[in-house]
Amino acid sequence: MIASDGYEELTSHRRTLVTLALLGCAFLAMLDGTVVGTALPRIIAQIGGSGTWYVWLVTAYLLTSSISVPVYGRFSDLYGRRRLLLGGLALFLAGSVACGLASSMEALIISRAAQGLGAGALLTLGMALIRDLNPPSRTEGLIRMQTAMATMMVLGLVGGPIAGGLLADHGGWRWAFWLNLPIGLAAAAILALALPERRPAAAPSGRLDVEGILLLAAGLSLALTGLSLKGNPTAGHTPSWTDPTVAGCLLGGLALLALLVPVERRAAIPVLPPHLFRHRTYSALLTAGFFFQAAAMPVGVLLPLYFQHVRAHSATTSGLLLLPLMIGMVLSNRLTAAAILRSGHAKPALVTGAGLLIAGTAVFFALNAATPTLLICGWLLIAGLGTGPAMGGITIAAQNSVPPADMGTATAGSALTKQIGGAFGLACAQSLMSHHGAATPASAIGSTIAWGGAAAGVFAFAAVFVMRNIPIPTPRGRQAAPAPGASAQAAPTTGGPAA
């Protein structure tokens, strides 16, 4: 229950300002996940280090932003989202300042880790608050916001490498971090002044789940470190899955996450409520999100290599040639949100997306050095149309598959599994690439995208296919009729947003 709901009384002007601030937060979180890649050579030239530092400079942000996501999501359900988001934004901006002032690689990595701790709040709580601000009675607003959020995420993913390269060449790499300040400070001021506080009516009782938080953080850190080491080759060397460091991190992480299960069952206020994972639909959605992202990641990472190394295009041109993928993602995300929120059913749109993703990645088996660019752009468009449903559709379905009091946790779970899925997909892609040996770069890249994307797409399709077609509130305040055979447990228990 909510003690008081100040969101309904928000004027149109204030609602617009708050939404823009939330979108700015999401953009910053995605941008800073990718901005250092193209700027790394200039960073190393100025403050020292070697190419092997790349893994840790990227991994530090990935680790802390990932492990903090479920904590922010759970705590926002228990204590409200506004203060947590403002605190995360403050930490992110402090980390940005520290990155810009760093005089050594060690200081920069530590600062990137601090940035990531704050970034975990920006995207997760931003998505949850957009859902709060747009209940079922404001379906058109939620469709627009899902589209805008997807656009910000795509711009962040694509714009990060471009911005990093431009700033490193023309403005100094430190500006890649300092430019966060005007956007972040403006967002913080708007959220502090215009977003009302909304907290649960009943304060949670019981001891904080410190053991669960520590086990979750340690387990995710080890697992993601192992995947990052596998997915980011250093000095041209890709370690094998049996490499002691990779295998040790992965096995250690899985062991700690296994120990988390009995701890969460005993906890008075678990950081990962066990009852959520007993919901077949919610578990299926998390699995689908993992494999959707695993299937899509090799496309966005390997195609620029093809365009640059095989077709001799510049980095800027190779980025522009990915636009069909991005257009497909944004377009299908909007169509998916509209279809789900107007029909009241998520399963058909997600099944369609998985099918398109399989088709859009499997065709890359035919990729070679002479493949027409226009044809490749068509393949990318299909892959983007298949990826888009996972961006907003899975989040919408996950939010409606759990009780209202767990909406923030559900949003965080959806975001976290996609992040892990992306890291897993990249690690598998690097493994496939290393096994091609003397194969031409074009055929190696094409078959890697096809095998990895199609296989992961099939698993995503299977996960979505077995989920119950839960009814989702529609604009007129009714719920769509449940699909035949759907149990009462699978039906959503909310007709509106939860704090």
Assign domain 274-499 to a CATH class.
mainly alpha
Q: Which two tokens stand for residue 425?
A: 């997909």
CA-based torsion, 112, 30, 62, 170: positive or negative: negative
- Residues present in the chain in total: 499
Model confidence, pTM: 0.81
Contacts of 244 (CB under 8 A, 6+ apart): none
* Lookup result for tokens 């520590």: 214
H or E segment to which residue 91 belongs: helix 82-101
- Burial label for 26, CB within 10 Å (0-12, 13-18, 19+), is buried
* Lookup result for tokens 């802390």: 64
Contacts of 264 (CB under 8 A, 6+ apart): 209, 212, 270, 271, 272, 273, 274
Give the architecture (CATH level 2) of 10-195: Up-down Bundle (1.20)
Residue 212's nearest CA partner among 277, 254, 256, 275 is: 256
User: CB neighbours (10 Å) of residue 46?
Assistant: 13
Do 10-195 and 274-499 fold alike per CATH?
Answer: yes
- Name the residue ranges covered by the structural domains of the chain: 10-195, 213-270, 274-499
What pLDDT tens digit does each residue of the chain (499 aa) get?
444 456 777 788 888 899 889 988 988 888 887 777 666 767 777 777 655 666 677 788 888 988 899 999 888 888 888 999 999 999 999 999 999 898 888 899 899 999 999 999 998 898 888 878 876 666 666 677 767 777 777 777 666 666 666 666 667 778 888 888 999 999 999 999 998 887 766 666 667 788 889 999 999 989 988 888 887 766 566 788 888 988 999 999 999 999 999 998 888 888 888 888 888 888 999 999 999 999 988 888 788 888 878 888 876 677 778 888 888 888 888 888 888 877 878 888 899 999 999 999 999 999 988 899 999 999 999 999 998 888 778 888 888 888 878 888 888 888 889 889 988 988 888 888 877 655 558 888 899 999 999 999 999 999 998 888 777 766 554 444 444 334 333 333 333 323 3
In one letter, which amino acid is 112? R
d(CA 307, CA 300): 12
Residue 59's nearest CA partner among 130, 112, 127, 3 is: 112
Residue 130's nearest CA partner among 278, 56, 25 is: 25
On whether the CB atoms of residues 420 and 290 are closer than 8 A, the answer is: yes
Q: How far apart are the first and last CA of the chain?
A: 8
